[in-house]
Amino acid sequence: MRIVLVGPPGAGKGTQAAFLAKNLSIPHISTGDLFRANISQGTELGKQAKAFMDAGNLVPDEVTIGMAKDRMEQPDAERGFLLDGFPRNVSQAVALDETLKAESMKLDAVLDLEVPEDEVVKRIAGRRICRKDSSHVFHVTYKRPEKEGVCDVCGGELYQREDDSEATVRKRLEVYHTQTEPIIDFYREQGLVVTISALGKVEDVTGRAMEALRSRE
Ligand code: AP5
Ligand code: ZN
């Protein structure tokens, strides 16, 4: 399946994507994780992205679209993929449509995670991620690591993302409403959107998501 995951910052996209990608045997492609990996490796792309991310703004399309395309062209993405954080504005959605069309492929579903803003703020404030692998995500109350400050998966150090400060989160939410939400209407016109509540236990949300996606198979 080819799936786009959409939802506000802190909705639980990364958390859900890890389970969904495993259940569906497709790669989880997160543009946020790709940028963070580039930043920690000190690449030119990472250098270009960092200032935008730290300010809560979108990284320019010229950088983002090429990076996402390269990742989608890897062999493991031939059987499908779960996109997390891409597309994030209408021009990225149009670019994705064109890329897929050129390969005679199409999306199967756009899974929209709905969470009230006050919950999103709590989730982001308590989030801690792993220095070694930013897909290892914890929460100081909702998903506590066994040993404080240490990743359960790989033993890496847990830290708070720089863009998780209160001011930057406010900016990211504003960017989500103005630039990302319009892609939901764009995909709704194509009949692709399934909206689920992302409130409640992680496993309950995964169950709801799997049910919604099966209805699209
Ligand atoms: P990105 O990394 O994509 O960040 P985001 O969209 O803001 O999403 P988050 O990672 O903040 O949240 P999430 O929904 O994945 O939540 P999570 O699972 O961690 O992007 C970062 C930046 O990169 C952007 O601002 C931009 O600058 C740039 N960028 C990325 N893609 C781009 C693009 N396409 N174009 C341009 N720029 C781009 O969960 C949050 C917390 O809640 C965790 O602590 C988790 O443990 C907890 N939690 C999860 N589910 C539950 C639950 N059910 N109950 C309780 N707690 C839960
Ligand atoms: Zn880790």
Residue 39 tokens, joined = 């930043």
Mean pLDDT of the region 183-190: 98
**pLDDT band for position 76 (50/70/90)?**
very high
Using CA positions, which residue lies closest to atom 21 of ligand 1? 32
Is 188 a known ligand-binding residue?
Answer: no
Task: Out of 88, 123, 128, 208, pick the active-site residue.
Answer: 88
Identify which of 213, 3, 209 has the alpha carbon closest to the alpha carbon of residue 113. 209
**pLDDT band for position 57 (50/70/90)?**
very high
From 123, 129, 170, 206, mutation site for ligand 1 pocket: most ligand atoms within 8 A of C-beta? 123
Is 161 a known ligand-binding residue?
Answer: yes
Is 5 a known ligand-binding residue?
Answer: no
Q: Is the CB of 8 under 6 A from ligand 1?
A: no
* CA 9–ligand 1 middle distance (angstroms): 5
Mean pLDDT of the region 175-202: 98
**What pLDDT is stored for residue 134 in this prediction?**
85
Which pLDDT tens digit goes with each residue over 108-163?
A: 999 999 999 999 999 999 999 999 988 899 999 999 999 999 999 999 999 999 89
Q: In 38-166, which ranges are E strands? A: 81-84, 109-114, 127-130, 137-139, 158-159
Q: Is residue 128 annotated as a catalytic residue, yes or no? A: no
Q: pLDDT exceeding 70 applies to what percent of the chain?
A: 100
Q: Is the CB of 12 under 6 A from ligand 1?
A: yes
**What pLDDT is stored for residue 166 in this prediction?**
87
Q: What is the pTM of this model?
A: 0.96
User: 2-115+179-214 maps to which CATH number?
Assistant: 3.40.50.300
* CA 104–ligand 1 middle distance (angstroms): 30
**pLDDT band for position 216 (50/70/90)?**
confident
**pLDDT band for position 96 (50/70/90)?**
very high
Q: What residue ranges do the domains of the chain occupy? A: 2-115+179-214
Mean pLDDT of the region 83-110: 97
Residue type, 128: R
Residue 50 tokens, joined = 């960092």
Identify which of 136, 176, 174, 140 has the alpha carbon closest to the alpha carbon of residue 157. 136
Of 72-76, 86-90, 109-113, 133-137, which range is least confident?
Answer: 133-137
Is the ipTM higher than 0.85? The answer is yes
